[in-house]
Structure 1
Amino acid sequence: MRYKFLITLSLSGLFLCASAQQVKFTEYDLANGLHVILHQDKTAPVVAVSVMYHVGSKDEDPQRTGFAHFFEHLLFEGSENMKRGDFMKIVSSNGGQNNANTSQDRTFYYEVFPSNQLELGLWLESERMLHPKIDDAGVKTQREVVKEEKRMRMDNKPYGKFAENIFSHLFDGHPYSWQPIGSMAHLDAAKLDEFIAFFKKYYAPNNAVLTIAGDLDIENTKILIAKYFNEVPIGVPVIKGTFELKPIAKQIVDTVYDANIQIPAIFAAYRIPGMKSRENKVLEMVSTILSGGGSSRLSTKMVDQKKTALEVAAFNYTLEDYGAYITLALPNNNTPLNGLLTDIDAEVTRLQSDLITESEYTKLQNQFENGYVSANSKMIGVAESLANGYTLHKNTNDLNEQLAQVKSITKEEIRDVARKYLTKDQRVVLYYLPKK
């Protein structure tokens, strides 16, 4: 046991040393408004090429939901200079990997290549931005792909609709009230010219950031970027909508029945500030105290000691405008759902009443340090963190400031923010039950 403890201390020291290093970057704008961020790291012959567009489901017409996620798929269809279906073949045949993801706030595309294929990555992303293939054949194909994804991830997945039901209450009056995958009926009803108009509005260089991280030469990379992106025409400036939600003044209770589950669950969710708020980071720390690992408060109490829960968790769903703080539990030994909620509430109340211990505070700092290092251990992680900083925080250097912010958060702040936001009259409680 002592041997393992010493190893843990040694690893913590390594993490602390690594996390103290600053991620250096160069950033500038092209004449068409494309923001460029370059990070050089020659420790491995790998380069990550990424483009983040500041568009997500938040930017959709309420009668045409799912467009941003749909384009995550559609923009792999090819281009005027690439056959349909060749995008991924080109990447894999040149030793690379690629993927994309969409949130409520942004869409992120990337390739990871051996560094001698940097130019290929730039060409692929410039083709996606300048010459995408948006036609009836591609739309028809991707409609079916998205429908199957929805069936797998939501309709037929156990507990797959919890976020849909919680967010519809928590963010009523805001586009966050629907999920990024959107409505299949909306996608079926949309015409080709609507998809083309959505692309022209949001997938322009002045609504994007190109981030490249890895084994690269800065000056040569700038030349290649100019070669492939200077010709992309600037788009009409994107004006983001603003949404002010009324406070939740009374607990909202709802029940959902799911044919895909045998074990019920209970959720409690609270609306919290968006990701730019310091309080949002404090609430991330609150969730880690409650359920960050097997020795966390909720796991120790409900899973190990009382054995009333098969699983219990608390997590921060961080978004640009607002966020959702969600707790959940699955019962063990037929424990009533209300009993689980009572136990979770008791631990929240303890956080609101008493300061965490010094050992918990030290552990919390180490967990955030380790998480920071893990998230940025690969070049694509660094690229995404830099892009998120610029796009969502209006601060590319956010990556380098995160740990200092965490270190500055006090035990008193943790208590006070928990008091402010995790109150019963400001939440949604969802009973998630098997459908008989």
Structure 2
Amino acid sequence: LVINQANLDNQRSTVQEEKRLRYDNQAYGRTFDTLFDTAYDNFAYKHSTIGSMEDLNAATVQDVAQFFKTYYAPNNAVLSMVGDFKTNEVLAKIEKYFGNIPSQPAPPAPDMTEPKQTGERRKTIDDPLAQLTRLDIAYKIPPSNTPDWYALYVLGEILSTGQSSRLYQKLVREKQVVLQAQAGEFERRGPDLFIGILMVAPGKDPAEVEKLFSEEIERLKNEPVTDAEMAKVRMAIKRGEVEQLEGTLYRASELGKDAVFFNDPNVINTSNEKALSVTKDQIQKAARTYLTEANRTVITTVPKPRAGGAQ
């Protein structure tokens, strides 16, 4: 790889344009960055992956070269191969094309610690590109591929997947206070977030929407989910497994991710079974443990009138 000032300037401009397109000039483009910055205390989680324009402008050739040497090394990489091939032939080609790349000292282990949150956090941001008010309600939860994470995954499916889900039935259909409602977790190696995303209907009060969402969370804590809801989620998991594993790209991506995240590529064969084994009691316990007011961060994104009053 040729790392020089001309190549750096070229790629810096490319990334800056990507930032403009995907974040700065997108409706709700700042919402997730604001959420992560507010919810987390650890800089590694707070800071946007793409960085700020100031970060990008400050990068030097020396910075980039050292980063490449440290992290883009074979001892810090995973190569996934999926498809119809002869293993011995592929391994020979991998050795031919990659075998002469030298290993480097192992990079420092990332700090994935995060202090316990002890009080609700809130922030409101104006968005001149947004058409609707959006509520993001996030709770800190354990890392992925842990028992409580799987319980919260199933909980999220019950809350928001499909028109029979609780949020759709209550907030979209019955109360008609939101146009869209989602809930679920990310998939992180370290402390994760369970997030409810609610697109407030025109003319409706965000405070009422938040109250109704909180009522559904409390219902999960106080009443077991139904047999029908559990059966629906389990059927969706089984169907999704078949559909996803049909594609070689998905399998290659999952194998690589599981090797990097968990040092265990076999998670691709065990994760669905872990989700299928989740019980009603586990869901209720997880809701009571993590979906609490003190563990909550709320970001309200509000449409901001453009100059001249036009929306």
Shorter chain as denominator, the TM-score bin is over 0.9
One of 311, 315, 334 as aligned partner of 2:203: 334
Partner residue, 2:184 = 315
Q: Is the 8 A contact 1:174 1:245 kept in 2?
A: no
Verify: 1:380 aligned to 2:249, yes or no.
yes
Partner residue, 1:297 = 166
Partner residue, 2:105 = 236
Verify: 1:171 aligned to 2:57, yes or no.
no
SS of residue paired to 2:80: strand
Using the TM superposition, give the Cα deviation of residue 333 of structure 1 relative to its aligned residue in structure 2, in angstroms: 4.3
One of 399, 402, 412 as aligned partner of 2:281: 412
> Normalization by structure 1: what TM-score?
0.68
Q: Is the 8 A contact 1:254 1:430 kept in 2?
A: yes
Q: Cα–Cα, structure 1 residues 375 and 135, in superposed 2: closer, same or farther, change >3 Å?
A: farther
Correspondence list, 1:10-409, <5 A: 132-409=1-278
Using the TM superposition, give the Cα deviation of residue 174 of structure 1 relative to its aligned residue in structure 2, in angstroms: 3.3
AA partner of residue 15 (structure 2): V
Using the TM superposition, give the Cα deviation of residue 376 of structure 1 relative to its aligned residue in structure 2, in angstroms: 2.3
Higher helix share: 2
What per-residue deviation string (whole Å, max 9, x for no partner) do you get for residues 267-304 of structure 1? 21111111132211211111111111222110111111
AA partner of residue 329 (structure 1): L
Q: Is the 8 A contact 2:134 2:200 kept in 1?
A: yes
AA partner of residue 286 (structure 1): L
Cα distance in structure 1, aligned partners of 2:11 and 2:304 = 31
Cα distance in structure 1, aligned partners of 2:163 and 2:48 = 30
> Normalization by structure 2: what TM-score?
0.95
Q: Is the 8 A contact 2:135 2:206 kept in 1?
A: yes
Higher RCO (C-alpha under 8 Å, 6+ residues apart): 2
SS of residue paired to 1:212: coil
Cα distance in structure 2, aligned partners of 1:252 and 1:227 = 53
Q: How many residues in Structure 1 have an aligned counterpart in Structure 2?
A: 305
Higher strand share: 1
Using the TM superposition, give the Cα deviation of residue 417 of structure 1 relative to its aligned residue in structure 2, in angstroms: 0.4
Cα distance in structure 2, aligned partners of 1:348 and 1:318 = 21
Using the TM superposition, give the Cα deviation of residue 248 of structure 1 relative to its aligned residue in structure 2, in angstroms: 1.1
What per-residue deviation string (whole Å, max 9, x for no partner) do you get for residues 149-173 of structure 1? 1111111111111111111121122
AA partner of residue 200 (structure 2): P
For the aligned residues, what is the CA RMSD? 1.3
Partner residue, 1:31 = none
What per-residue deviation string (whole Å, max 9, x for no partner) do you get for residues 102-139 of structure 1? xxxxxxxxxxxxxxxxxxxxxxxxxxxxxx12222221
Q: Is the 8 A contact 1:376 1:382 kept in 2?
A: yes
User: What percent of counterpart residues are identical?
Assistant: 30
AA partner of residue 182 (structure 1): G
Q: Which runs of 5+ in 1 are unaligned?
A: 1-131
SS of residue paired to 2:289: helix
Detail structure 1 runs of 4+ shifted over 4 Å in the superposition: none
Cα distance in structure 2, aligned partners of 1:178 and 1:375 = 31
Cα distance in structure 1, aligned partners of 2:300 and 2:241 = 34
AA partner of residue 250 (structure 2): G
Using the TM superposition, give the Cα deviation of residue 239 of structure 1 relative to its aligned residue in structure 2, in angstroms: 2.2
